[in-house]
Structure 1
Amino acid sequence: MHTYTVTERDVTQAWVAACNKLDRKDNPDRTGLHTVVRIADPTSDDPAFRAELDRLRSARGLWPLETVASTLFPAALAARSAGSDELAERYRQMYQIIKRYPGNHRGTYFGRLVSYPAVSKSGVDQLGTVINRLRAQAAGTKIAAAYEIDLSAATDADTDTDTDTGEAGADLLVHTAGKDNSYIGFPCLSHISLQLDRDRRVHAAALYRNHFMFERAYGNYLGLGRLLAYIAQQAELACGSLTVVAGHARLDGPITQLRPLLTGTSRFAA
């Protein structure tokens, strides 16, 4: 079993460190189990590095990293919304159209946050609930760990495979035996747990079943960091650290072209 834990300052450094942990001679499959990536400032990354990584992704027909990040947090829509309630309502109004796009037929991660499958047709707005709880707890007796966001549901039971194969997993009261038969694809992010510390900072831990490092991980780190920062801002708190746990991680992609970026020997791989 190959595993690792990395702790770095920003998204770029954390992603590079995690990839290098997987790209080892004693790990020919470039895979890891129960990997942990901790990012002290998940709102920061190296724009030049991201642009070069996007160049490699574009050459292989992958979505831009901004598109990947937006499935977790639609930053542009949030910037045009007065607050989390308006953001959630506007996204719900668009959700059926969003689901028509390739890879979205089972939904999006942010859709699960603001319209989690439940008894009511409109679903549950987990985002607003979490923000309100954090704001209330920060104003009074602080409870450190009572802020949960579930992203998997019993409705994820179909067996077809879509293009969103960047992650995969199971969490408590998420997987339904006999119904969840899809091995890969959405939703691969199972759970987000938020913690409030005594310094009024909100930290997040995200659990993935599977993480493809080239295809999805960098964009997921960006999206999760922006989501965390938004939750903190809306709750009038400070943004803390992000921890991402993957049950299975894999360094996919063009390894020969990636290595100059991972080793810092070149920003412009051939």
Structure 2
Amino acid sequence: MKNSAPLLIEETNLSRAWASAFLHIIDNPGKEISPLLITLTGFTNGIPDEDRAIREALDNCLVANNKQKVHTVANTIFPSSLWRRSKYDRNRLFEMYLNALPRYKALASSKNRRGIYFERLIAFGSGPENGNQLEYIISQYKSRPGVRKSMFQAAIFDPARDHVPSAQLPFPCLQHVSFVPQDKDKTLTINAFYATQQIFEKAYGNYLGLCRLGDFMAHEMGLTLDRMNCFVGVAKLDTIPKSHHSLTALTNVARNALEATTDKQITGGI
């Protein structure tokens, strides 16, 4: 299969979902998948199942290439550590985050100067609830039964700020998220759309951050996170060559993990 063909990856493990997309690019011509759809289930108390070996190998490779680790990327979408520190009080979480926002931006000024994803979700700059889109969704859902599902969506991309002629624009790649409650099952699905996504340095952290955001919203809506869907217009590996020596160990770990899973599935079916 060419990388220019659509690719659907359905998994119950976040690490294997990422590894499948990564190896697809490594093993096929070109450096892009267009489009890519990741659909992920497999959560334990709202936390996505992962493969420790893949996660550690990726983090080691990211550090070796002066890139942010998975957890740091995930925090740009949802600050899980701050959520715990707020003792799971969402109003306190929002307050603490906005108070700390100048410091977060200063920690990575070149990456965060145009904004951070969670900032856009809770302080978009316009709209109800003073631009806090997550609070609006939660409060509307809890206010009455039968709220239209098209209401449960939040924008990241803002034409007023983001339609600029820059040759490279690192933010925002994530354009939009939506939440789909299934009241009968008391579950929640989170959907996300990326115009582009960097498979090596961002994608794993993106998936993890989206799952954490989905778990937060499910918690506040009285539901359980059931699925994360991520649609990517163009998933690419263009900041590092496929043949780069630092990718060798990561590629081997990812391949071994997927092959071991396939062997178990075959054995179980016999």
| CA pair 100-145 structure 1, distance change in 2 beyond 3 A | same
| CA pair 190-154 structure 1, distance change in 2 beyond 3 A | same
- Cα displacement (A) at 1:155: 4.3
- 1:110 maps to 118
State yes or no: 1:80 paired with 2:85: yes
* CA RMSD, Structure 1 to Structure 2 (Å): 2.2
- Cα displacement (A) at 1:265: 6.8
Query: Is the CA contact 2:54–2:250 (under 8 Å) kept in the aligned structure 1?
Result: no
Query: Is the CA contact 2:74–2:208 (under 8 Å) kept in the aligned structure 1?
Result: yes
- Cα displacement (A) at 1:64: 1.3
State yes or no: 1:100 paired with 2:86: no
- 1:18 maps to 21
Structure 2 gap segments, 5+ residues each: 259-270
Deviations, residues 96-154 of structure 1 (Å, cap 9, x unaligned): 3322232111110011111112279x9511111122233345xx236444300111113
Query: Is the CA contact 2:12–2:40 (under 8 Å) kept in the aligned structure 1?
Result: yes
- Comparing 16-25 and 69-78, the one that deviates more: 16-25
- 1:124 maps to 131
- 2:235 maps to 249
SS in 2 for 1:187: coil
- Comparing 128-137 and 198-207, the one that deviates more: 128-137
State yes or no: 1:180 paired with 2:180: no
> Which residue of 246, 251, 264 maps to 2:256?
264
> Which residue of 61, 74, 98 maps to 1:69?
74
State yes or no: 1:37 paired with 2:38: yes
Alpha-carbon distance between aligned partners in 1 of 2:235 and 2:118, rounded to the nearest angstrom: 22
Alpha-carbon distance between aligned partners in 2 of 1:193 and 1:213, rounded to the nearest angstrom: 22
State yes or no: 1:238 paired with 2:245: no
The code of the aligned residue for 1:79 comes to: R
- Cα displacement (A) at 1:257: 3.7
SS in 2 for 1:141: coil
Deviations, residues 158-189 of structure 1 (Å, cap 9, x unaligned): xxxxxxxxxxxxxxxxxxxxx43234310110
Percent pairwise identity: 27
Alpha-carbon distance between aligned partners in 2 of 1:156 and 1:265, rounded to the nearest angstrom: 42
Structure 1 gap segments, 5+ residues each: 158-178
| CA pair 219-119 structure 1, distance change in 2 beyond 3 A | closer
State yes or no: 1:151 paired with 2:150: no
SS in 1 for 2:115: coil
Query: Is the CA contact 1:11–1:221 (under 8 Å) kept in the aligned structure 2?
Result: yes
SS in 2 for 1:264: helix
- Cα displacement (A) at 1:48: 3.1
- Cα displacement (A) at 1:258: 3.1
SS in 2 for 1:100: helix
State yes or no: 1:228 paired with 2:214: yes
Alpha-carbon distance between aligned partners in 1 of 2:95 and 2:42, rounded to the nearest angstrom: 29
After TM superposition, the structure 1 = structure 2 runs for residues 42-53 of structure 1, keeping only pairs within 5 Å, are: 43-53=48-58
The code of the aligned residue for 2:122 comes to: V
The code of the aligned residue for 2:197 comes to: H
Paired residues, number: 240
The code of the aligned residue for 1:194 comes to: F
| CA pair 106-155 structure 1, distance change in 2 beyond 3 A | farther
- 2:174 maps to 189
Alpha-carbon distance between aligned partners in 2 of 1:22 and 1:89, rounded to the nearest angstrom: 41
Query: Is the CA contact 1:84–1:127 (under 8 Å) kept in the aligned structure 2?
Result: no
Query: Is the CA contact 2:74–2:206 (under 8 Å) kept in the aligned structure 1?
Result: yes
Alpha-carbon distance between aligned partners in 2 of 1:135 and 1:89, rounded to the nearest angstrom: 21
